[in-house]
Amino acid sequence: MAYSAKLLLLLSMFLILTTFSNVVEGYKKLRPEDCEPKCTYRCSATSHKKPCLFFCKKCCAKCLCVPPGTYGNKETCPCYNNWKTKEGGPKCP
């Protein structure tokens, strides 16, 4: 009985660690040279590519993070998400 309880605990801990490792991956810091390809993908679905790329690269250079996907998911990069314009709108695409 003690053996199965230990095995269950070990399996539970493994599942929790696996879950958190996926969350931590979203906060991984980029190197400055990684900004160009990440921003190119981030801005690939917009019709306003030039301003999107400009601001995305600016935000990436400061935050060293670009949210995954072409839209949304900003919560994975708090610095990128919280940087605002003078008017209070989002600075980063």
The pLDDT tens digits for 49-86 are 999 999 999 999 999 999 999 999 999 999 999 999 99
* pLDDT of res. 21: 47
Dist. CA 35–CA 57, nearest whole Å: 6
Q: Enumerate the domain spans of the chain.
A: 30-80
Q: How many Cβ atoms are within 10 Å of 53's Cβ, its own excluded?
A: 18
Q: pLDDT of 9-36, one tens digit each?
A: 777 776 665 555 444 444 467 888 999 9
C-alpha angle 73/79/81, rounded to 5°? 35
For residues 64 and 29, is the Cβ–Cβ distance under 8 A? yes
Residues 6+ apart with CB under 8 A from 49: 43
